[in-house]
Amino acid sequence: MQKVEVAVVGSGSWATAIVKILLNNVEKVHWWVREREIAEHLMQYGHNPRYLSSVSFDTKRLNVSHELNRVLNKADIPVFCIPAAFLERSLEGMHASLLRDKPVVSAIKGIVPGHNQLVTEFFHTRYDIPYKQCVIVSGPSHAEEVAQEKLTYLTIATQSRVNGAAVSGLFSSRYIKTDISNDLFGAEYGPVLKNIIAIASGICSGLGYGDNFHAVLISNALQEISLFLETVKPAERDISKSVYLGDLLVTCYSQFSRNRRFGQMLARGYSPEEAQMEMSMVAEGYYASKCVQEMNAPFGLELPIINAVYNILYNKAKPVSEIRALEDKLA
């Protein structure tokens, strides 16, 4: 067991899975949970009542609190796992000094709305965190399979070899394998974009399109992701790596994909608002769609799949009409 003190900020399914992963390698995890009643339930019964409730924790190895600064004060390495849409609000009152000279780890897959910033960019501009201090934990991964201890590969992206090795050591286990990348921004943008594509995949599934069409949809989507990345954050990268292509595939095809499920509900006639309420989980692609649309405005890139999702979500386009129009734009 490593002696390092680790804090997890967030209480959703991925945060819960990360706590499970970390307890393979550290004696105790400090865990920030916003709601006092959820924190008390965790400490009393040893499981999260809302997410991955089948995962049991030894409460002697948890320090659960609804006080953010108290949790961060104990951490050598904080791991943030809050939906990007709620990040700014959740961190209100956080003392930035508690992040100074620490690896700041983000397991968040989304863009901060209102700022159109990646999480690392948000930490950099809001809290003056150097990019070399930032670390990204990315997939392909679903929390449900981690909970079942099914073999999962994670990518640790950072500009610091030391931080990469430290975080990789914390996450590696019998059922978690890690790979270290220096493509900090690509490892963030990839998951943002694939969540939008997964909504498209869910819509197409809900409308009755088959595997043949999905293969074309996803291959075209990978080209859109590559074009966007090379325009917005150019770098030498292999788009076929698992952090890009693998994450795209699992999010578009998996039964656990909330963005895919969100798209299926849109195809059945739910409004975006109704679908979000019904799921009681955050589909990050909903917020990312608007952010990416705004970010692409100065570039004018041809992104037909991403544009189709935006039209359905924000311009009230009918899914069946929008996807039929998309058919002739794919090859």
For the chain, how far is it from start to end, CA to CA, in angstroms?
A: 51
What one-character DSSP code corresponds to residue 97?
Answer: G
318: helix, strand or coil: coil
Measured at the CA of 177, the angle between CA 261 and CA 87, to 5 degrees, comes to: 50
Measured at the CA of 86, the angle between CA 25 and CA 142, to 5 degrees, comes to: 45
134: helix, strand or coil: strand
CA torsion through residues 309, 315, 316, 321, sign: negative
CB neighbourhood size of 121 (10 A): 18
Catalytic residue among 194, 241, 290, 329: 194
| 150 classed as catalytic | no
One DSSP character per residue, 159-204 reads: S-HHHHHHHHHHH--SSEEEEEES-HHHHHHHHHHHHHHHHHHHHH
The closest of 7, 163, 150 to 81, measured between CA atoms, is 7
Which residues carry out catalysis? 194
